[in-house]
Amino acid sequence: MNRAPDIESKLPAGQFIGRILNRFGFRGRGLVIAIPTLWLLVFFLIPFLVVAKISLSEAAIARPPYLPIWEWSDGFLSFSFNFGNYMFLFEDPLYLSAYMESVKIAGVATIIALLLGYPMAYLIARSAPNTRNLLLMLVILPFWTSFLLRVYAWIGFLKSNGIINNFLMSMGVIDEPFVMLQTDFAVYVGIVYTYLPFMILPLYANLVKLDPSYLEAASDLGARPIVSFFTVTLPLSMSGIIAGCMLVFIPAVGEFVVPALLGGPDTLMIGSILWNEFFSNRDWPIASAVAIVMLFVLVVPIMLLRRAQAAEQEAAS
């Protein structure tokens, strides 16, 4: 008993530090959660609040180009929130149609990416472990080149005297070049191309875990391969499908580079509007309001989806 302090001094360093931290009220579990919490706070919540603040202020020709939302004078602290920015967004049909267009383009691109990505992910998950690593590598490989360069490269493919048109004309398939660049088609190509890996990777991670004995059981019970795909594989990969679609849809709604480079003057995406407001018009308050509304456009469906999932899980138990 009287040798207890001696034993404590022989503790491994990690445990020793742990004990000291405990004495000051820190718990290991708390620390582990604290780091990501702090990260989200500093790099997500605070910038969000700053943007929210700017969206409620008035534009001004000044530096920074907006007026403060509170003022201290003669012993009075006065706040002035300018909701005009938001009202303006709903008055001008430009913004509304840009939101709709963005959601539509992102939605269609997500579905195309799912239809392309699912068979690819399935094939990778079903191939031999060695081939699997190679194929995964090929999926990730484009990330090693700048995203901007890769989108520029598509211009070379799609333009009127680009590779595709030249090839088709030399084959005699067409007489006049297809107009592909600066159309919605080019925007779809760009977005699907850019975000396809984000669809494939979560789907792959899901499909590779699928226990092959489920498929054997289905086959044993009389299901042909196509039937067991729709009754077993597809429903069991639903969480991967949802994750992949989220990872494609969310950034695609706010996509700016692809419509700017590949889209035409008719392509109205909210990302381009945002860029114009910030950098061309230098109207920071309107730009911030556009960003905040976009956030709600994205967050609300995610919340609804999560609530539906939670309800489903609750109903099951």
Partner 1 sequence: MSHENATPDTQPWNDPKAVPFLQVKNVTKKFGTFTAVSDVSLDVYKGEIFCLLGGSGCGKSTLLRMLSGFEDVTSGQIIIDGQDQAGVAPYARQTNMMFQSYALFPHMTVEKNIAYGLKRDGLPRDEVAVRVSEMISLVQLDKFANRKPHQLSGGQQQRVALARSLVKKPKLLMLDEPLGALDKKLREETQFELMEIQENLGVTFVVVTHDQEEAMTLSSRIGVMTDGQIVQTGTPHEIYEYPANRFVADFIGSVNIFEGRIVEDEVDYVVVQSRETNTDIFVAHGVSGTVGQKVAIAVRPEKMTISKDPLPDMRNVIKGTIAEVAYMGNRSVYQVQLESGKRVRVAHPNRTRRGAHTLTWEDEVYVGWAGQAGVVVSQ
Burial 10-26 (b: 16+ CB within 10 A, else e): eeeeeeeebeeeeeeee
Q: How far is the CB of 221 from partner 1 (least distance, A)?
A: 4
Whole-number Å distance between alpha carbons of 84 and 78: 18
Phi, psi of 280, deg, nearest 5:
-85, -50
Q: Smallest gap, in angstroms, from Cβ of residue 223 to partner 1?
A: 5
- Given the complex with partner 1, which of 229 and 278 has the nearer CB atom? 229
CA dist., res. 265 & res. 246, Å (int): 28
For residue 260, which of 194, 176, 166, 165 has the smallest C-alpha distance?
194
- State the Cα–Cα distance between residues 92 and 228, nearest whole angstrom: 51
Shortest Å distance, C-beta 135 to partner 1: 23
Residue labelled with tokens 């742990």: 18
Outline where DSSP puts E strands in the chain. 70-73, 76-79
Nearer to partner 1, 73 or 317 (CB): 317
Positions that interact with partner 1 (CB under 8 A): 211, 213-214, 216-224, 227, 231-232, 235-236, 316-317
Question: CB-based contacts of 156: which residues, under 8 Å, 6+ apart?
Answer: 162, 163
Q: Which is nearer to partner 1, 119 or 225 (CB)?
A: 225
Residue closer to partner 1 by CB (options 116, 205) is 205
Q: Which is nearer to partner 1, 23 or 224 (CB)?
A: 224
Q: How far is the CB of 131 from partner 1 (least distance, A)?
A: 17
Minimum distance, C-beta of residue 40 to partner 1, in the bound complex (Å)? 31
What end-to-end distance do the CA atoms of the chain give, in Å?
50
Q: How far is the CB of 129 from partner 1 (least distance, A)?
A: 16
Residue closer to partner 1 by CB (options 161, 317) is 317
